[in-house]
Structure formats: C-alpha cells, structure tokens
C-alpha cells in the first residue's frame, strides 16, 4: 500500500498499542517519523516497538491520570484500547457490560479529556482519532454491550468535536469491520462463522491492519484539516446495506 505521511516532530499517543490495530497504528506512525507514546498492558510488547511506553490498564482511571502526567503536550491521540465480552441480549451480566463500557467508552473519554486539556493549554491544534467499530452502526448478535460501547464512543467523538473545535482540535472516529490481526484471523478461521460475514461485505473480504491504520494516519494529518466529527466506516461496504 502506497501512502506516505510525515509526522516528524509530532508527539502522538496510541492506546491499545500492545497488539492488533493499535500496534499497527503505532508502527505506521513510527515509520512516518512521529514521536510515539505507546500505551498498553503488555510491557514486553510495548518495549518491542522501540518508542516511549506507558504500561497501564486503561480501566484504572487513577493509574491513567498518573501515567499521563509524565507525557508532554501532544499533537495527536489515537484511542484504540478496547475489549469485547460476548453475551446474548437475553442474558447480559452487569459485570461484563460494565467492563466493556469502562474500557471502550469511559477510558477513551478520560484519555482524550486529559490530552485535549494539555493541547489547549499549549495552544496546539491537534487531532484525535477514536477507534470505534462497525458494531456502532449495525446490530450484531451477542454484541449488545460491545455495540452499545462503540455507539457511545461515536457520540463521545461528536461532543468532543463540538467542544474542542474552537481550539482547533479535530476529533473523528473510524469504524472498522473485522480486521485480520493474528488473533482475529484465528477467531474467524471457521468457515461457518467466516463465510456469512464475508457475504455481507460488498468487497468480499475482511480488512488488513494497515487498511485501518492508514486512514487513521490520514485523519491525524493536515490532509484532513477540515474533517471533524466524522464516524468513518472502514468496512468494505458492510454498513451500506
């Protein structure tokens, strides 16, 4: 894929950078010259990125605030930390629902709040990208908590856009379909599960991690200087139907 971005002298925080889409975004940003601050729970995986690291569980609000105090004002943020707990709608548990909402919605709002406050203080017209999901836009069986958390993240994105636009801060979300990280490739290897999902995607395939990471870099870049408040599906057309 040929897409070139230059983030030299840009400080960008990526949460959920230990694995999956977050890791790919961090790697793409590093390759584009950014000074990356990688936040996640796996210290060894973070160290392998070769950038600044913050080993913290985003569900621990006090630990998040403490970790962010040592980070200088940023030019960009990618909120990619997320979890899923699958339960049928007729049997949801308070514990699973609260855990998913805490990580996917509350923690993302908290991290962005602290980062944006420092941007405003430093007069930095930054860019924030929240990694949501196609699950915020459509109903997926057994994903009630996950769908609700990602819909909340899209709503959070719009409010942040409205409040912080006056300071030149842009806020957008991206909404990927199934993305073939190593863990997802294994989870979707069963044809009985994979084939119906693929049949619902007009392009007929799942996304590769770089196909999510590069649109995120676009939204972080000056090429997207008039784009804010958008929830961008990266789904091969899944949500067009």
Q: What distance in Å separates the CA atoms of residue 84 and residue 157, rounded to the nearest whole number?
A: 20
Are 59 and 102 contacting, i.e. CB atoms less than 8 angstroms apart? yes
| 140 dihedral zone (left: phi>0; alpha: psi -120 to 50; beta) | beta
Number of H helices, E strands in the chain: 9, 7
Cα 227 from chain centre: 17
Q: Which DSSP string corresponds to 93-121?
A: -HHHHHHHHIIIIIHHHHHHHHHHHHHHH
- Residue 138 backbone dihedrals phi, psi, to 5 degrees: -140, 165
What does the radius of gyration of the chain's CA atoms come to, in whole angstroms?
17
| 8-state DSSP, 145 | H
Are 32 and 217 contacting, i.e. CB atoms less than 8 angstroms apart? yes
Choosing from 146, 164, 206, 238, the catalytic residue is: 146
Residues in the chain: 241
Residue 13, classed as helix, strand or coil, is strand
Choosing from 150, 172, 181, 215, the catalytic residue is: 150
Q: Residue 150 catalytic?
A: yes
Q: H or E stretch including 131?
A: strand 127-131
User: What positions carry a catalytic annotation?
Assistant: 146, 150
């Amino acid at each position: 894929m040929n897409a070139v971005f230059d983030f030299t002298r840009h400080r960008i925080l990526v949460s959920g950078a230990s694995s999956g889409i977050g890791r790919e975004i961090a790697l793409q940003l590093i390759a584009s010259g950014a000074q990356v601050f990688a936040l996640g729970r796996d210290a060894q995986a973070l160290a392998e990125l070769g950038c600044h690291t913050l080993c913290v569980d985003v569900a621990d609000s006090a630990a998040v605030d403490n970790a962010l105090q040592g980070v200088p004002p940023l030019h960009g943020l990618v909120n990619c930390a997320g979890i899923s707990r699958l339960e049928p709608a007729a049997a949801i548990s308070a514990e699973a629902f609260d855990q998913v909402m805490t990580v996917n919605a509350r923690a993302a709002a908290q991290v962005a709040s602290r980062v944006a406050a420092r941007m405003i203080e430093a007069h930095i017209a930054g860019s924030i990208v929240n990694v949501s999901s196609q699950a915020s836009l459509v109903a997926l069986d057994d994903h009630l908590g996950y769908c609700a958390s990602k819909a909340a993240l899209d709503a959070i994105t719009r409010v942040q856009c409205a409040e912080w636009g006056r300071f030149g801060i842009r806020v957008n979300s991206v909404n990927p379909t199934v993305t073939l990280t190593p863990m997802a490739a294994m989870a979707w290897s069963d044809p009985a599960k994979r084939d119906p999902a693929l049949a619902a995607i007009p392009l007929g395939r799942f996304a590769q991690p770089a196909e999510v990471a590069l649109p995120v870099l676009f939204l972080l870049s000056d090429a997207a200087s008039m784009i804010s408040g958008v929830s961008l599906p990266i789904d091969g057309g899944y949500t067009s139907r």
